Amino acid sequence: MKTLNQEILFSMLLAAAKDIRKSVPLLNDLDGQTGDGDHGTTMMRVSQCIDNALRNSGGQDWQKSVEDMGWAIMSQDGGSAGMLIGNLFCGLATGLEESELTPLQTATAFRYGLDKLAYFSGAKAGDKTMLDALIPAVKAMEQLALESEDIAALFQSAAKAAQSGAESTKAMKPARGRAKNMGEKAIGFVDPGATSISILFTSFSNHINATNKEKCYG
């Protein structure tokens, strides 16, 4: 699979929304160890916004649909995670200018999303936030996009990097959010926001690889 288009992206996002809903108890439990225990509930609302926006896009082009989805996520009641994820998707929408994206264009679109999220969060790598999974995921996409024309491989690389990034937060002292109040006591716990990013990219990878296999062997 050499290009990403609206059909593939929307199906990836809907699959990710489904996986987020399955992960709500896990995410709330992780957040309960260092925060308010409601991150999973916030991500449940995010998943509902994804479903509503994409299933009722009314034939809009994907740039407009994803931007509207981002704004819907930012407008829902919930914690800061909703605002950050919404900015991620609004930034991503900036890169959806063509009807089909090459691997490099796909990586660039996700870079826009990362940059927008990072700007509004004010966080940086090592602060024990979702950026610790998102930054390596996007960097992995950018690196592989220079070497490969396979969209599925691009997301597989991003998923592995996001998983590793999320796991790395276990050793970090938080510098943002309520977890910051725990100081060194938060060391040893994985950041729930980084875990959410890992779930997103793992779902993207699983779905697009399954789709790719169906096209090759179905």
For the chain, which residues make up each domain, given as ranges?
4-212
Tell me the pLDDT tens digit for each residue of 41-92. 999 999 999 999 998 877 789 999 999 999 999 998 767 899 999 999 999 9
pLDDT at 217: 45
What residue ranges of the chain have pLDDT lower than 50?
Answer: 217-218
The reply to whether CATH 3.40.50.720 applies to domain 4-212 is no
Long-range contacts of 112-121 (CB under 8 A, 24+ apart): 113/87, 113/88, 113/89, 113/138, 114/88, 114/138, 115/91, 116/87, 116/88, 116/90, 116/91, 117/84, 117/85, 117/87, 117/88, 117/91, 119/87, 120/83, 120/84, 120/87, 121/80, 121/84, 121/87, 121/176
